[in-house]
Amino acid sequence: MDSKEIIRLQPNFASLWVDKEGIAHVKFKPNYGIDVQEVKDYLNRASKISSGNPKPVLMDFRDLSDISEFALGQLINPETAKLTKASAILTTNISLKMTFYLDFVLKLKKPPFPIKAFVNESDAITWLKQFVDKKSEQK
């Protein structure tokens, strides 16, 4: 993991870092359920490491046990767009509930930024690279 800074989100449900290419990564703790409070904590911490510049975000949902539809809704609201240029959600083939929630929420709300689900991390990162701010990448 080539990172600039890792921030542990409280109560230690995820790690957040920005890699050398300018992509923010969110890795959730295994077997953890996410609700609105955890999303609020994530958004608060993400605002601190983004320095006011929205970033492409890789959200690794592969190890999550659950995420509420309300939490997913919070992740794609207009406030989140201030921090997010695009979001790649990494899931497993078997996370059917997660896929259902994501499809459901995306049909109800038009995301204010591009969002796409992936099962392959390198495919997700390749897709996110098109959204990297070339100026911040050179820093």
How confident is the model over 89-123, as pLDDT tens digits? Answer: 888 865 655 666 666 666 777 788 998 888 899 99
Nearest to 87 by CA among 52, 60, 47, 69: 60
Q: Which two tokens stand for residue 101?
A: 């929630």
Instruction: Give pLDDT, residue 138.
Output: 43
**What superfamily would CATH give domain 3-137?**
STAS domain (3.30.750.24)
Residues of the chain with pLDDT under 70: 1-11, 93-106, 135-139
Instruction: Give pLDDT, residue 15.
Output: 85
| Domain assignments of the chain as residue spans, ordered by start | 3-137
